[in-house]
Chains A and B, each alone.
Chain A
Amino acid sequence: MVELFTYPPILKGFIVLILTGFAFPITGVYLLRMNLLPLRFMLMHGAILGGAISLAMDVNPFGGTLIVNLLLVLLITWMSRSLKTDPGQLSAFFMVVSISLAFIFIYRFQIPAKDTLSLMWGSLYTLNGFEFIGTLAFSLLLILFQSFFRHQLRAVFFDADIAQTSGVNETGFYYAIILITAVTVAAAMKLIGALLLDALLLLPALIASYHAKSYRGMMLWSSFWGGMFAIVGFLLSLALGLPASSTIAVFASVVFLILILAKRK
């Protein structure tokens, strides 16, 4: 199995997966704590729209999904705050709009279905130079953001009003969290696909929330589980000759189930 790492796509995929495995669960904690699950679903649909537009324009889908997702989260956040509307409802609305527009693009520009569907399961081994460096840089930035602003983020997660009255720029951090979520979802879709991205984002955070005894513990345990899922899942996929994304997701799900059952006992 070791010889497989001599192939650049596999080595690149492994390096990216290790770093994102440890970094992306941080966003999972943000999603859970800020109750942004509807937004995540919308972003998955937004990424398909971005991908469809990119394919129609014959450009790299990664950039398209990133731009569409960023625009959508900014629009939803601005609308929910200025119109005082539930972001969950707005997310549902834009989810429908995104997927409808995506299919219009697919139909109108006769994009092959398999190309569009490749967005659903990711393509870890086809990372180009920009995607490789970009994903690594974003993962490092995410870890630095969490480390540097951990106190302010803790306040925002606890209560928006209390954060603000403690001198924290709650609005600024909310926007930062939303933008980070958009980039993470776009990057995770490229790595393991729309259907499986929760294995890197949500499952580690969910597992950590069951046994962590503090906010600090929650962050550290989420990262630990995410890293473990990525490394073990990737190695298992090579050993068993299975797709990396599915193997990571199945391994994460099995660990999740075992821990839930163990907790019930």
Chain B
Amino acid sequence: MEHSLILLHDNRQVFTSDEHWLYPLFELELFLKDAAFPLDQLFLKDKIAGKAAASLIVRLGIRNCFIELLSERAIPVFEQYGVKYAYDQLVDHIQCRTEDLITDKMSMEDTYLFLRKRAGKVQGTSLKINSLTVDVAGKRILEKLDLELGRGEQLVVQGENGCGKSTLLRSILGLILPVSGSVSIGEELVGSAKWRKNSALTGYLNQETIKNYFPITAAEVVAIGVSGIKISNRERDYRVELSMRKTGSFHLQNQLYHQLSGGEKQRVSLARCLCQNARILLLDEPTSYLDEKGKEELGELLVDLSRNEAPTMLLVSHDTNWTNQLNWYKKTLKDGRLW
């Protein structure tokens, strides 16, 4: 096979890739997003496939494939989802660390997200908090707090009111100076000159308490996300529209922000963070002023976001019923530390 991956439609070659590992399949994913081929008429030829590649092939919706070197671990995945497969050579496993890391407990979506992160196909950046101690009004709120989040990971921080959840977020944002310890976003130390230049990489969705009755449209609020950078009006409009469409808030663009419902405001705020191209999203009690429907919609939006753009997300909330539905990793803030 001259290419590492070939896609055929009616025996006609429509896509090829010479990349390695799982990258041809991620390239194919992008290709199929814009193409309009009936998936059952596509035939995929791949050089090598294990459980990881099989999962991606299933998720792409490919129904027929030929693999030159196939791992036995891929077969249950193909059979479970009804993918017809053929191969040249079958081996019990392939030398790939990724295949060993995929467990049977992982759902198809979990596997997909895991592979995207592993392939660096996430927008998120890492967050590292090292022995952070913060005082507010002379009172110790955070005490030698440590936290590490990898690219595209999500974490819910729970805790009672007043335990310091918002203080934690404000420290990450650089809005509160710590007594000691450090916060790093990606490679940048919060508070450093380099971080100041890139501070917009952190998006902030605060409690919906902004009593903003000043005339400002939803689209203008979203455009705030790019206030700190010099871009053309055309680029600004494009980014605003794209991020509003991604959060399903484009139809609200000309409405006054203060006239929107709590759920609509949070959609617009998320669009603002996307427009900002934020690599890490900090969400402070985002459900505070939402009804049940609003909470459900926000949950769906965050899950979508974690699967697509996949920014690193840190959410603080005391609404355990709602955060349980998100199915994110959780920690509790108590006595100034995370447990």
B290 within 8 A of A: no
**How far is B200's CA from A163's CA once the two chains are assembled, in angstroms?**
9
A82 within 8 A of B: no
Contact B173 A165 (CB under 8 A): yes
Contact B206 A212 (CB under 8 A): no
How near does chain A come to B220, taking the closest CB pair, in angstroms? 5
Contact status of A214 and B200, CB under 8 A, knowing A166-B224, A166-B227, A167-B227: no
Contact status of A165 and B200, CB under 8 A, knowing A151-B223, A158-B210, A213-B256: yes
Contact A155 B224 (CB under 8 A): yes
Q: How many A-B residue pairs have CB under 8 A?
A: 88
**How far is B338's CA from A147's CA once the two chains are assembled, in angstroms?**
46
Q: Closest A-chain residue to B172, C-beta based?
A: A165
Contact status of A167 and B228, CB under 8 A, knowing A214-B216, A215-B220, A217-B215: yes
**How far is B206's CA from A162's CA once the two chains are assembled, in angstroms?**
8
Contact status of A33 and B214, CB under 8 A, knowing A154-B220, A163-B227, A167-B229: yes
Contact A158 B229 (CB under 8 A): no
B225-243 near A? 1/0 per residue, CB < 8 Å: 1111100000010000000
A34-71 near B? 1/0 per residue, CB < 8 Å: 00000000000000000000000000000000000000
Cβ–Cβ < 8 Å partners of B215 in chain A? 209, 212-215, 217-218
28 contacts between A and B (CB under 8 A): A33-B214, A154-B216, A154-B227, A155-B227, A157-B214, A157-B216, A158-B214, A159-B212, A161-B170, A161-B173, A161-B206, A163-B227, A164-B199, A165-B175, A165-B200, A165-B202, A165-B203, A166-B224, A166-B225, A166-B276, A168-B227, A209-B214, A213-B254, A214-B217, A214-B254, A214-B256, A215-B216, A218-B214
Q: Closest A-chain residue to B255, C-beta based?
A: A213
Instruction: Name B167-200 residues within 8 Å CB distance of A.
Output: 170, 173-175, 198-200
Cβ–Cβ < 8 Å partners of B210 in chain A? 158-159
What number of A residues sit within 8 Å (CB to CB) of B?
Answer: 25
How near does chain B come to A221, taking the closest CB pair, in angstroms? 9
Cβ–Cβ < 8 Å partners of B173 in chain A? 161, 164-165
How near does chain B come to A88, taking the closest CB pair, in angstroms? 16
Cβ–Cβ < 8 Å partners of B220 in chain A? 154, 214-216
Contact B204 A161 (CB under 8 A): yes
A152 within 8 A of B: yes
B216 CB contact (under 8 Å) in A151, A158, A161, A165: A158
A134-163 near B? 1/0 per residue, CB < 8 Å: 000000000000000001101101110111
Contact B214 A166 (CB under 8 A): no
B221 within 8 A of A: yes
Contact status of A154 and B224, CB under 8 A, knowing A212-B215, A217-B215: yes
Contacts A168-B227, A215-B216 given; 11 further ones with Cβ under 8 A? Answer: A154-B224, A155-B224, A162-B204, A164-B173, A164-B174, A164-B175, A164-B199, A167-B199, A213-B215, A213-B254, A214-B254
